[in-house]
Chains A and B, each alone.
Chain A
Amino acid sequence: MADLTTELNLLQQIRLIAGLRLRIFRNGLRGKNKQLDVLGTVIAAVFGTLLIVGFSFAFFSGAYQFVQLGRYQWLGLLFWAIFIFWQFIPVFTAGFGAAFDFRKMLRFPLSLSAFYVVGLAYGFFDFSSIACVCWLSVMTLGVAAANPALFPAMAITCFLFLLINLTLERTVGSWLERILARRRAREIFFALFFLLIISVQFISPMLQRYGRSAAPGITIVLPYLHYLNVFPPSLAGHAIAGAGGHHASEFLLGAAGLTAYILFFSVFLWIRFAAQYRGEELSETVAPRAVPRRVAPSGSRRDALSLLSPQVAAVLRKEFRYLTRNSFAFFLLIMPLAFVLLFSMQFAGRHPTALKHSLSPDTFFPGMMGYLILILMAPAYNCFAFDGRGIQTYFTSPLSFREVFLGKNLMQLTLSAFELAIAIFAFSYIVGLPSLPVLLATLAAMVFVISGQLAIANWSSVSFPRRLNFGQMRGQRQSGMGGLVSFATQLLLGTICAPILFLSRWTHSPWLPAEVFAFLAAGAIAGYFSSLDALAQFAERKKESLIEALSK
């Protein structure tokens, strides 16, 4: 066979990878159900561009002003901002799943050095990298506009700073990729990420409550800030300051420091890429140890769920196991408690931070419970999301889909009841319980709202299914229509409940809302059970689209 292959140069290889990623992105938007994805991408692109352009003005004028004022060392602040953005945004998005694994390039004839450079260049295709390169460029222009003599020094410094960021980001990214190759590690990462997001919500109320007394703490930290000088952004600032003050030695020292960082990070990156080049296997599968296991004689066991039909009990057990193995969903269980704490600090109790006068428990309690139900019931609108291909088992088993709905809804109810009970306990401790008529009216309203939603949620789950994967967040978006149905239903039920709660004020009959809600709750429960057979038939009719959507 004639050897017609020729060696591609690095630029050609990088161009091929860029083209490949673009093609994957475009093909991912194909298909009749992708219009919303296209819209989402366009909106994200518009916001991304606005962010880059908006901050470009800020970086340009900041750099220009600092040089004009002779405060060269303040440029370090701008370098710090870029450094933090460049390094932290990819870390936050890393666990959201890799869209393209550049290690697949290993099947092609690449030398280790070419693989290293291609891997490094791969880092340029991230949003954070593109944004930061733009900002470094406009900073350079800003400095040059204020003092053209500084342009060479600024260009060199920015180039070195760019290389540091790129190398560090790829080093952290590739090590993170190795750590997150394990599903469990990924889930813990998501959980911690989510906890961080929730914790951030507490910063404002905590500062408002304890800010004054915390001020001396900040002054303690200030003297230690000079230790930041040894980090790359400060070194870059010092290098420019040296150049601006005509101290060549300071500029060279800063540039040498930046170069040392590049070499230091490059060694770690080289180690990682070399391991990948050798064919490192980042498998999901933990090689299990063979544990000899004898079949134990099985005695008759009492079934703890014997009151339920075997099928409903089986679905309920399966749902519970899925919940306990979905670390991310499991961590979401702390949300109700976190929200009670958060909103109580802001709107109720003895010292609300967001209001001058705290809301009374009679007003705050129904609102808080309504909000929690809004969160807790959201997954019910796509209740087959995590079943994946397992959905086929339901359709090949000898049962009516009614039993599947019952099992899933029972799990949803048990979980909601548990969460709401904890939330009510926390509420009573922090704020205090409302009056008995309001408490009972709210409890009856909760039964009404939850039962009333279940039938619609079941319908939505069959009509607008969307597969969600464990331990993955990228692309884990609920169906747009499912979300809309959920929102419309909750809005409708809220619109029904709000005036009923106020009936007591208008009629001066404190027990009237509780009576009305008890009546509505009974009706909603009856409606739920009478809907099951019709929904089972509906699921049978929609099974093809349901299986197709969940088996993708």
Chain B
Amino acid sequence: MNGAAIVTHKLTRRFGGLTAVDNVDLTVAAGQFFGFLGPNGAGKSTTIKMLTGLLSPTSGRAELLGIDFAQHPVEVKRQIGVVPEGMGLFERLTGSEYLQFVGRMYGLDASTTQCRSEELLEFMQLADRPKTLIADYSHGMQKKLALAAAVIHGPRILFLDEPFEGVDALAAGALKALLGRMTERGVTIFLTSHVLEIVERLCSHVAIIDKGRLVAQGSLEELRAGIPSAEGTKTTLEQIFLSIVGQDASQRPQLEELSWLT
């Protein structure tokens, strides 16, 4: 498919008897800000791990930028940036050392790595703590550093697993602006978040996974079109999400059951 950044064909991952991701066919066009949603344990992180080389699929395949991941993992990894679950930081390095390490791992030369590291640390407001080890960073600072490391080599696809979790409002605003600018330049961003307001504000396209199966995929407008709404009101992503994953009022835990709380 022309212009597709990410295509998966029947991507499946089983853990023993549990099928975490079940025959997922996903298509993300280049330059899209793509939100990948699902309830807890639906298979979001497992899918991201398979798309970034942290987990091998049991069956099916993934193509990124038209390159088969299983056949050419190194070529694919060169084009992508990742903020994985748990961030994957070497906590005994300083922020600057970590960025320089990552830059060199992606094959950037020493001076480019140095220059980009300094710029990124400035942008992320981490430059004033040059001697502080990552282990001593707050969670939000670690998140910002993980994001800086994910973009240092100028990836064409960026995978972000809960990127705004623990990040303060000021930094989140700057990050959103950065991500927005990246998509304008043609970078594809694949993002998971439990904060549906963020996804609704940032993403042009969304896919929803539930119990390992892809249950919806398309632009927000396309998804809205499939959900009945009251005259003159715009269906929110939360309503779309709840409608699609099947948790209507009868399936949700009833507050009346905890009457002793009120």
Contacts and interface: CB of A to CB of B under 8 A. Distances in A.
A552 to B, nearest CB: 10
Interface string B75-98: 111101010101111111100010
Residue of B86, B88, B106, B109 contacting most chain A CB atoms (<10 Å): B88
Interface string A386-408: 11111111111111100000000
A125 B102 CA distance: 46
A2 B91 contact: no
B51 to A, nearest CB: 11
A32 B55 CA distance: 22
Given A301-B111, A392-B54, A544-B55, A295 B105 contact: no
A61 interface: no
Contact of B104 (A284, A300, A313, A325): A313
Given A288-B129, A547-B54, A397 B92 contact: no
Contacts of A388: 90-91
B87 A389 contact: yes
Contacts of B100: 314
B82 A396 contact: yes
Nearest to B136: A285
23 contacts: A2-B260, A284-B136, A288-B128, A291-B128, A295-B119, A298-B115, A301-B111, A301-B114, A314-B104, A317-B101, A318-B97, A321-B92, A389-B86, A389-B89, A390-B88, A390-B90, A390-B91, A393-B149, A396-B88, A398-B77, A399-B74, A543-B54, A551-B86
Interface in A337-368: none
A47 to B, nearest CB: 35
A396 B84 contact: yes
A313 B103 CA distance: 12
A325 B52 CA distance: 30
A386 B92 contact: yes
B186 interface: no
Contact of B135 (A284, A293, A311): A284
Closest 3 CB pairs of A and B: A392-B88, A390-B90, A314-B104
B181 to A, nearest CB: 20
B127 A295 contact: yes
Contacts, number: 133
B247 interface: no
Interface of A: 1-2, 183, 284-286, 288, 290-293, 295-296, 298-301, 303, 310-311, 313-314, 317-318, 321-322, 325-326, 386-400, 470, 541, 543-544, 547, 551
B130 interface: yes
B105 A314 contact: yes
A465 to B, nearest CB: 15
Contact of A387 (B90, B97, B110, B129): B90
B77 A293 contact: no
Residue of A183, A388, A551 contacting most chain B CB atoms (<10 Å): A388
Nearest to B90: A390
A395 B50 CA distance: 11
Contacts of B133: 325
A387 to B, nearest CB: 7
A397 B260 contact: no
Contact of A470 (B88, B89, B92, B128): B92
Contacts of B110: 300-301, 303, 310
Contacts of A284: 135-136
A398 B92 contact: no
B132 interface: yes
A269 B142 CA distance: 37
Contacts of A399: 74, 77, 105
Given A310-B107, A397-B106, A389 B122 contact: no
Given A301-B111, A394-B105, 16 more contacts: A288-B132, A291-B128, A298-B118, A301-B110, A303-B110, A310-B107, A310-B110, A311-B105, A314-B105, A322-B92, A390-B88, A390-B89, A393-B101, A398-B74, A398-B105, A543-B56
A298 B109 CA distance: 12
B138 A285 contact: yes
Contacts of A394: 105
Contacts of A392: 54, 82, 84, 86, 88
B201 to A, nearest CB: 27
Nearest to A284: B136
Residue of A394, A397, A547 contacting most chain B CB atoms (<10 Å): A397
Contact of B101 (A298, A314, A400): A314
Contacts of A393: 88-90, 101-102, 105, 149
Interface string B213-238: 00000000000000000000000000
A520 B122 CA distance: 53
A321 B75 CA distance: 29
Nearest to A302: B110
A217 B50 CA distance: 71
B1 interface: no
Contacts of B80: 396
Contacts of A396: 52-54, 77, 80, 82, 84, 88
Contacts of B107: 310-311, 398
A313 B82 CA distance: 22
Given A314-B104, A397-B102, A1 B77 contact: no
Contacts of B84: 392, 396
A289 to B, nearest CB: 9
Nearest to B88: A392
Contacts of A544: 54-56
Contacts of B88: 389-393, 396
Contacts of A298: 111, 114-115, 118
Contacts of B249: none
A322 B93 CA distance: 7
A541 B73 CA distance: 13
A318 B90 contact: yes
Contacts of A292: 128
B104 A310 contact: yes
B40 interface: no
Interface string B182-197: 0000000000000000
A303 B108 CA distance: 13
Contact of B92 (A299, A325, A400): A325
Contact of A395 (B53, B119, B129): B53
Given A301-B114, A392-B88, A295 B77 contact: no
B261 interface: yes
A395 B101 CA distance: 14
A293 B127 contact: yes
B112 to A, nearest CB: 9
Interface in B114-165: 114-115, 118-119, 122, 127-133, 135-136, 138, 149
A544 B149 CA distance: 22
Contacts of A322: 90, 92-93
Contacts of B132: 288
A398 B74 CA distance: 4
A297 to B, nearest CB: 9
A176 to B, nearest CB: 21
Nearest to B116: A298
A388 B135 CA distance: 11
Contacts of B91: 388-390
